[in-house]
Amino acid sequence: MTNTEIIVNFLIAIALGALVGLEREFKQIHKDKNVRSYGGIRTFPLIALFGALCGFFSDQYSIVFPVIGFAATAFLIIISHYIFASRKGRIGLTTEIAGLITFLVGVLAYLNLTILAVSIAVVMTLLLYGRVSLHEFARHLKEGELYSTIKFAIIAFVILPILPNKEFGPFGIFNPHQIWAMVVLVSAISFVGYVLVKMIGPRVRQVMSFLMGFVSSTATTLALINEKQGWAQFTYNVVLANTAMITKMLVLIFILQRTIFYQVILPFGLMIIASLSIAAYLRITHGYKGNIVALGSPFTLKPALKFAGAFLIILSLVRLGTIYLGQNGAYVLSFVSGLADSDSAVLSALQLTTPNFVAIASTAVVL
């Protein structure tokens, strides 16, 4: 590693520590003025710098330096926590744990694992800053939703790794690991939308339908039908929900098939622009409000199994249609499948294995 690279890595470590420290300092100044913790805008960059130094010494001398450094940092933080707890009755450990993670972020930054270090620091800062919203989310979470989430987490992160990752059946259509991985991916994206609705919904009522569209644009539309509202209001909300569905499709394609993503970004972008233009027109001419519709958590076993079944059926039809009817068969079946379940239809098109895969799959996805 050159001297320039070493300096850059040290600067990255300090910057990431400053990001975390800024959030902690902001909290103390603006939110918890009566509660002081051991660290702020100066301490956290120093902790990250210490981590980077330990990474440097491990690179030059021995791997034992990060271990000793982490132990020393933990010891100092424990003493600080004990002092604050004895004086103020403070028992929270959030800032203390953040300090330990910041040390490790500094080590990662020096070791040139920049993306990992930045990702950890940013996620940690978001978790620290979103304390109120996260507590509100937990407070309003229903017991059934929590239970469903735990069940799905077991199935996704315990069962998924042990499912056989090989093809079964005619033409290798059935791959248990692949199918369930798609279920986990789609459900996770839908769950993010559901969490956003729970956390910030009332404060962004005007885009509520868009957020609910990430959970299920079909369920959102059906729920809106039962509400008393004019045609302009109904259309505005439905258009936003379906715009979210198109956006979710783009996210899925970007994650799974980057080559296809670059092929479909233009038509998908035009769909999104057209939808937002309609919504903007209705908002300007008729006014608007976001409808809060009661939707169940998508992170449950029953919807996941239904999606897995739909995905398997549509995948089988599209693959068999491609084999026996050629690319036109794939196009027709993708279009028809999209009427039933857009998630399954898009994912099935991405699983095509044909000589002209990119062109056929891109067209099928758009259809």
∠ CA 114-116-122 to the nearest 5 degrees?
95
pTM for this prediction: 0.56
Taking the C-alpha atoms of residue 177 and residue 181, their distance in angstroms, rounded to an integer, is: 6
Taking the C-alpha atoms of residue 140 and residue 89, their distance in angstroms, rounded to an integer, is: 28
Q: Quick check: 317 pLDDT over 70?
A: yes
| Per-residue confidence (pLDDT) for residue 190, from 0 to 100 | 67
With 0-12 / 13-18 / 19 or more C-beta atoms within 10 angstroms meaning exposed / middle / buried, residue 123 is: exposed
**pLDDT tens readout for residues 194-204:** 666 666 655 55
Q: Which two tokens stand for residue 122?
A: 């940013």
Residues 6+ apart with CB under 8 A from 119: none
pLDDT band at 38 (very low <50, low <70, confident <90, very high): low
The DSSP annotation for 285-317 comes to HH-----------S-SHHHHHHHHHHHHHHHHH
Taking the C-alpha atoms of residue 25 and residue 17, their distance in angstroms, rounded to an integer, is: 12
Residue whose C-alpha is closest to residue 323's, from 299, 353, 294, 300: 353
pLDDT band at 310 (very low <50, low <70, confident <90, very high): confident
Q: How far is CA 66 from CA 36, 72, 156, in A?
A: 28, 10, 34
- Least confident piece of the model among 14-28, 106-120, 307-321: 307-321
Q: Quick check: 281 pLDDT over 80?
A: yes
Taking the C-alpha atoms of residue 336 and residue 321, their distance in angstroms, rounded to an integer, is: 12
Taking the C-alpha atoms of residue 311 and residue 342, their distance in angstroms, rounded to an integer, is: 10
Q: Quick check: 209 pLDDT over 70?
A: yes
Taking the C-alpha atoms of residue 211 and residue 252, their distance in angstroms, rounded to an integer, is: 16
| Per-residue confidence (pLDDT) for residue 327, from 0 to 100 | 77
DSSP reduced 3-state for 367: coil
Mean model confidence pLDDT for the chain: 80
Q: Quick check: 152 pLDDT over 80?
A: no
| Per-residue confidence (pLDDT) for residue 257, from 0 to 100 | 87
Q: Quick check: 298 pLDDT over 70?
A: no
| Per-residue confidence (pLDDT) for residue 49, from 0 to 100 | 94
CB 311, CB 318: distance < 8 Å: no
pLDDT band at 127 (very low <50, low <70, confident <90, very high): confident
Phi and psi of 174, rounded to 5°?
Answer: -100, 110
DSSP reduced 3-state for 270: helix
| Per-residue confidence (pLDDT) for residue 189, from 0 to 100 | 67
Q: Which two tokens stand for residue 262?
A: 């670059």
Q: How far is CA 254 from CA 188, 238, 260, 302, in A?
A: 15, 25, 8, 27
| Per-residue confidence (pLDDT) for residue 14, from 0 to 100 | 94
| Per-residue confidence (pLDDT) for residue 166, from 0 to 100 | 80
- Least confident piece of the model among 223-232, 257-266, 268-277, 342-351: 223-232
**pLDDT tens readout for residues 180-196:** 877 777 777 667 666 66
Share of the chain above pLDDT 70, in %: 79
DSSP 159: I
CB 300, CB 152: distance < 8 Å: yes
Looking at per-residue confidence, does 90 or 172 come out higher?
172
Mean pLDDT across 272-293? 79
Share of the chain above pLDDT 90, in %: 21
∠ CA 272-275-276 to the nearest 5 degrees?
85
Q: What stretch of H or E contains 240?
A: helix 231-256
CB 140, CB 106: distance < 8 Å: no
| Per-residue confidence (pLDDT) for residue 353, from 0 to 100 | 66
Residues 6+ apart with CB under 8 A from 61: none
Mean pLDDT across 223-237? 76
